[in-house]
Amino acid sequence: MSMTGNKPPFRPNHLPTLAGRNPVAPPVYRPQPVPRVLQAKPSQMKAPSVYRPQPVPRVLQAKTASPLPVNKRTPPVSSFVRPPVASQLQKPNVKGIVQRKAAPVSAWPAAPRRSMNTPRVLQPYTEAKIPNLGNTEAKVSASEQYILPYNTVLYVRADAAAPRGFVRDKTVRTEQFNYNGARYTAYKHGGSFLKDCLHTAEELINQRQLLVNRATYSRVRGSRLVFGQEEEGKNIECARREQKDGHPVNERANPDVGQAYVIVGTGKPGKYPYHAAAVVAKDGNDTITVEVEAGYTDARDDDRTTEGELHIYEIGGNKSFHADCQKDYDQPITIVIVPK
């Protein structure tokens, strides 16, 4: 047996052992799964794209054509376009982005709004049966301030003023009554007149008694020409001048309280050259007048025994003073006179 230095030869059987145990191989390494909360995000998930507003579809854009004609009562169905509604998917939850709004499309022109300051238009007087007067048919003024059942008595509502020169009429059968929830009282003019229509009208607008055929007491309101002259041709000229100058005449003649209507025949002479009626009260476009009919002879200062008749006329239309009197005159012109 050979020797290599001083070391004994390698003998595998001489390796140390652990207390009689046989050697065991270590367990195989198996990697544990990572918890889900710690897993990396899949590569398929991407960051949200930047919002880019989409252009408004052409069918929802504002129309540039002219609006529908007004004379069409109902626009075609195709012209009604529903206003655009943004989809929930198109609304980004990002502040600072202003979406473009489509202009509203009007399928029918809006009606003009009525101003609150527009004055109320009153209807002309009406004819109604009054139960407390035995269903007598009377003329009721525009806002029911006055009721005229006969041409000798005027019923005045409690909250309205009685005309100047009028007094309570205690000779009528019914002095007071209720109508439409209001109280009415009977009135009449307290004076008597001469049998001359123009002279009576001039006394009422001048508010005093006048001597007959001594002077002139009135003028035409527009032209300021003196009316009531003895030469009838001058009175005709006054009426023609008022019409020529464009002042309100005929149905448009509109005297105030304290003024008077005068209708003048400018054509062939008739029974009377003119007729006058003084306005003593107004309600809207309704006028209350006192007037008399001329006699067959000239009036006299000592014959003041005629009572005035009460009438109601509207301004314009077929209930006007001109419409009521024009049948008695040839080529009539209605004007307004005022105190001289």
pLDDT recorded at residue 111: 41
Where b means 16+ CB within 10 Å and e means fewer, 3-40 reads: eeeeeeeeeeeeeeeeeeeeeeeeeeeeeeeeeeeeee
333/216 same-domain check = yes
Cα(185)–Cα(191) distance, integer angstroms: 19
What residue spans of 229-334 are helical by DSSP H?
A: 232-244, 321-325
pLDDT recorded at residue 298: 81
The C-alpha R_g of the chain, in whole angstroms, comes to 52
* Residue at 75 is within a domain: no
Task: Give the residue from 142, 173, 189 where a domain finishes.
Answer: 189
307/175 same-domain check = no
206/332 same-domain check = yes
pLDDT recorded at residue 32: 73
Cα(281)–Cα(161) distance, integer angstroms: 9
Where b means 16+ CB within 10 Å and e means fewer, 95-121 reads: eeeeeeeeeebeeeeeeeeeeeeeeee
3-state secondary structure 2-43: CCECCECCCCHHHCCCECCECCCCCCCCCCCCCCHHHCCCCC
* pLDDT tens for each residue of the chain, 340 residues long: 444 455 555 555 555 544 555 666 777 777 777 666 555 555 555 666 667 777 666 655 555 555 555 444 445 545 445 555 555 545 445 455 445 555 454 444 444 444 444 444 556 899 999 999 999 999 999 999 999 999 999 999 999 999 999 999 999 999 999 999 999 999 999 999 999 999 999 999 999 999 998 899 999 999 999 999 999 999 999 999 999 999 999 999 999 999 999 999 999 998 899 999 999 999 999 999 999 998 878 888 889 999 999 999 999 989 999 999 999 999 999 999 999 9
Cα(10)–Cα(328) distance, integer angstroms: 167
Cα(91)–Cα(253) distance, integer angstroms: 68
* Residue at 81 is within a domain: no
pLDDT recorded at residue 155: 98
Residue located via tokens 């003998």: 11
310/181 same-domain check = no
Task: Give the residue from 145, 166, 189 where a domain finishes.
Answer: 189
* Residue at 215 is within a domain: yes
Count of all residues that appear for the chain in the document: 340
pLDDT recorded at residue 175: 97
pLDDT recorded at residue 80: 47
* Residue at 233 is within a domain: yes
Q: How many folded domains does the chain comprise?
A: 2
Cα(174)–Cα(91) distance, integer angstroms: 79
Beta-ladder partners of 148: 139
* Residue at 227 is within a domain: yes
Q: Collapsing DSSP states into helix, strand and coil, what is residue 238?
A: helix
* Residue 124: closest CA among 143, 150, 101: 143
CB 298 within 8 A of CB 190: no
pLDDT recorded at residue 56: 63
280/319 same-domain check = yes
Residue 90 has a CB neighbour count (10 Å cut-off) of 10
136/218 same-domain check = no
146/239 same-domain check = no
163/207 same-domain check = no
Cα(139)–Cα(310) distance, integer angstroms: 11
174/303 same-domain check = no
Q: What is the DSSP letter of 67?
A: P
* Residue at 274 is within a domain: yes
* Residue at 10 is within a domain: no
Task: Give the residue from 143, 173, 189 where a domain finishes.
Answer: 189
pLDDT recorded at residue 296: 77
202/320 same-domain check = yes
Residue 227 belongs to what domain range? 197-339
229/319 same-domain check = yes
What backbone phi and psi angles, to 5 degrees, belong to 240? -65, -40
pLDDT recorded at residue 30: 76
167/250 same-domain check = no
* Residue at 66 is within a domain: no
